């Protein structure tokens, strides 16, 4: 989906192309679904192996049996994880971006079964990186603690999924690696991606009235 214009409509200009407004460019950056899925699988595999190695380093043993109660633990943990993950994005936007709550929006793309948190105000590049990575930084220690307190297959899977669920966020930050820190970034409304905005547009009252 394209960025919204000042009247709330979609930008009619082609996606993926540079837009020119008074000799300034708005660059739209997207994260591909295939790349995100591949990285998610890689992070899932990496996290599972890290947990297996950790049990030898910290002298705890992961229970390999998978009783019925553990199935319910695993299923019951996914919904809170999804909600908490998106809320953490919002918390980062509120604290570091200093934006009002009305500028944070939650949604679901049912076709991809993708939940998202959208910030409709521009953020500086470093703030956007915090916005993207904050769930990974918070949920990983929590999932690690759960694995240590209840070392079992369900907690191992929960730990691995917690990390792999941040694949899109990691790719977004990777996409910002060549963006200058003084640039402004506009989060995409519902797709994984963002637009790099000229400062004159980002700092205008219509776009970023702090």
Nearest alpha carbon to residue 164 among 39, 25, 14: 39
Decide if 105 is inside a domain: yes
Residue 210 has a pLDDT of: 45
**193 by DSSP, 3-state: which?**
strand
**Residues of the domain holding 47:** 20-208
Decide if 134 is inside a domain: yes
Decide if 13 is inside a domain: no
For 53-76, write each residue's pLDDT tens digit.
988 888 888 888 888 888 899 889
Residue 80 has a pLDDT of: 94
Decide if 91 is inside a domain: yes
Nearest alpha carbon to residue 22 among 200, 202, 145, 193: 200
Decide if 149 is inside a domain: yes
pTM: 0.80
Per-residue pLDDT at 166 exceeds 90: yes
Decide if 73 is inside a domain: yes
As for how many domains the chain has, the answer is 1
Per-residue pLDDT at 7 exceeds 50: no
Q: Which of 47-51, 91-95, 177-181 has the lowest mean pLDDT?
A: 177-181
For 138-148, write each residue's pLDDT tens digit.
999 999 999 99
DSSP for 103-163 reads: GEEEEEETTTTEEEEEE-S-EEHHHHHHHHHHHHHHHHHHHHHHHHHS-BHHHHHHHHHHH
Decide if 8 is inside a domain: no
Decide if 169 is inside a domain: yes
């Amino acid at each position: 989906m394209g960025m919204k214009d000042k009247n709330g409509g979609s930008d009619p200009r082609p996606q993926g192309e540079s837009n020119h407004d008074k000799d300034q460019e708005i660059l739209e950056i997207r994260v591909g679904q295939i790349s995100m899925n591949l990285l998610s699988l890689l992070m899932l595999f990496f996290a599972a192996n890290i947990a297996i190695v950790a049990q030898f380093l910290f002298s705890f043993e992961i229970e390999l049996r998978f009783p019925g109660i553990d199935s319910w633990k695993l299923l019951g943990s996914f919904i809170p994880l999804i909600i908490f993950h998106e809320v953490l994005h919002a918390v980062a936007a509120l604290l570091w971006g200093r934006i009002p709550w009305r500028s944070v929006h939650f949604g679901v793309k049912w076709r991809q079964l993708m939940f998202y948190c959208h910030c409709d105000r521009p953020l500086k590049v470093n703030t956007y990186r915090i916005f993207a990575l904050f769930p990974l930084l918070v949920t990983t220690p929590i999932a690690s603690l759960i694995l240590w307190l209840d070392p079992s297959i369900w907690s191992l899977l929960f730990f691995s999924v917690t990390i792999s669920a941040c694949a899109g966020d990691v790719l977004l930050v990777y996409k910002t690696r060549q963006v200058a820190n003084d640039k402004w970034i506009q989060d995409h409304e519902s797709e994984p991606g963002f637009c790099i905005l000229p400062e004159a547009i980002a700092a205008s009252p219509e776009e970023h009235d702090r």
